[in-house]
């Protein structure tokens, strides 16, 4: 979720209703904001974000039809456990998962309470530790799993939308902890506009050791960079499944977005990712696009 942008969009929706939302391309603006990393960065990022198709299963949309919804593997278990980090005012995904028989352990230290209640909701005014921020309300995933007596649980689900804290979380989480989750959903922030490209790449390498990416969606609230014949969005939603449970087709000719994808912000068009798994084309560094409200 891009909270500030969502709030701004709501305030000005009436003013721009029926008008075309501008997309600005400006090399001077791009350079001043340092949007564009090296070609090598985008090439490796593309390699690390290769999408596999899971044999015998379909993908399905869960949660909101727009921002706050996620594409998941249609493999759910009544009586399952899900961890949800970053709630804000939207519990659509949590409600959906509760309807599928999951108990949802929900964490957000920035809100006082939930906008809606459900008997399967377990809310805590705590957040995920990123290894940097000094705040007693922030806990590691290992601490929370132990507190909830889930140390021996497998096949859990993890959803995380924590406005950039995901990078520190991935750096510090143990691989064996990640392996307790058969599906993991992330909203990744500042993929393009990062101060530490190696940190981003290292995070994806670590995730790929235990999980496989099965879906990718560009959050159209944000700008993107065209490189190697691909569009790389600054904020992306990524869906992973555990490697050791599912058989996958790694030669998947996927065209993104899928029919079950939808715009995060209805004011803007989708960001096309196209035939994402096709080879990165060296030498095709282009411009960045900045969505202006």
Residue 222 is predicted with a pLDDT of 87
Residue 3 is predicted with a pLDDT of 53
Residue 17 is predicted with a pLDDT of 29
Residue with tokens 């490697």: 243
User: Which pair of tokens denotes residue 72?
Assistant: 């998941």
Q: Read off the pLDDT of residues 141-159 as tens digits, 9 standing for 90 and up.
A: 999 999 999 999 999 999 9
CA 45 to chain centroid, in Å, comes to 15
Residue 287 is predicted with a pLDDT of 60
Q: How far apart (Å, rounded) are the C-alpha atoms in residues 22 and 6?
A: 17
Residue with tokens 């996958």: 248
Q: b/e for 215-243, b at 16 or more Cβ within 10 A?
A: bbbbbbbbbbbbbbbbbbbbbbbbbbbbe
DSSP state of 165: T
Contact 153, 143 (CB under 8 A): no
Q: How many CB atoms lie within 10 A of CB 140?
A: 17
Residue 290 is predicted with a pLDDT of 55
Residue 78 is predicted with a pLDDT of 95
Residue 12 is predicted with a pLDDT of 39
pTM metric for this prediction:
0.88
Determine if residue 148 is left, alpha or beta; phi over 0 gives left, psi from -120 to 50 gives alpha, anything else beta: alpha
Q: Read off the pLDDT of residues 177-218 as tens digits, 9 standing for 90 and up.
A: 999 999 999 999 999 999 999 999 999 999 999 999 999 999
**Residue 101 vs residues 51, 97, 104: alpha-carbon distances, Å:** 28, 7, 9
Residue 282 is predicted with a pLDDT of 87
* Element of type H or E holding 141: helix 141-147
User: Which pair of tokens denotes residue 179?
Assistant: 């392996």
Residue 45 is predicted with a pLDDT of 98
Q: How far apart (Å, rounded) are the C-alpha atoms in residues 184 and 170?
A: 12
Query: Which residue numbers in the chain have pLDDT < 50?
Result: 4-34, 292-293
Extents of the domains making up the chain: 3-12+22-291
Q: b/e for 49-70, b at 16 or more Cβ within 10 A?
A: bebbbbeebebebbbbeebbbb
Residue 37 is predicted with a pLDDT of 84
DSSP state of 200: H
**Partners of residue 27 on adjacent β-strands:** none
Q: How far apart (Å, rounded) are the C-alpha atoms in residues 221 and 269?
A: 10
């Amino acid at each position: 979720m891009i909270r500030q942008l969502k709030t701004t969009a709501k305030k000005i929706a009436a003013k721009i209703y029926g008008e075309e939302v501008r997309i600005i391309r400006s090399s001077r603006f791009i350079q001043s904001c340092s949007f564009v990393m090296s070609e090598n960065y985008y090439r490796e990022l593309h390699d690390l974000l290769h999408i596999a198709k899971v044999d015998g299963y379909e993908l399905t949309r869960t949660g909101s039809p727009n921002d706050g919804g996620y594409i998941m593997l249609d493999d759910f278990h009544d009586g399952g456990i899900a961890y949800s980090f970053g709630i804000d005012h939207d519990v659509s995904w949590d409600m959906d998962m509760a309807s599928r028989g999951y108990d949802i352990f929900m964490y957000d230290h920035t809100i006082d309470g939930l906008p809606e209640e459900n008997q399967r909701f377990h809310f805590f005014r705590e957040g995920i530790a990123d290894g940097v921020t000094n705040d007693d309300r922030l806990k590691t995933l290992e601490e929370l799993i132990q507190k909830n007596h889930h140390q021996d649980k497998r096949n859990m689900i993890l959803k995380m939308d924590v406005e950039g804290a995901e990078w520190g979380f991935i750096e510090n989480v143990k691989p064996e902890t990640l392996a307790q989750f058969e599906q993991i959903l992330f909203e990744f922030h500042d993929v393009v506009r990062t101060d530490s490209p190696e940190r981003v790449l290292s995070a994806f390498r670590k995730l790929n050791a235990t999980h496989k990416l099965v879906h990718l969606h560009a959050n159209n609230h944000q700008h993107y960079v065209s490189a190697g014949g691909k569009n790389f969005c600054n904020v992306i939603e990524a869906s992973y499944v555990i490697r050791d449970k599912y058989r996958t087709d790694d030669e998947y000719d996927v065209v993104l977005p899928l029919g079950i994808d939808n715009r995060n912000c209805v004011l803007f068009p989708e960001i096309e990712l196209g035939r994402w798994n096709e080879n990165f084309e060296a030498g095709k560094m282009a411009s960045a696009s900045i969505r202006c409200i």
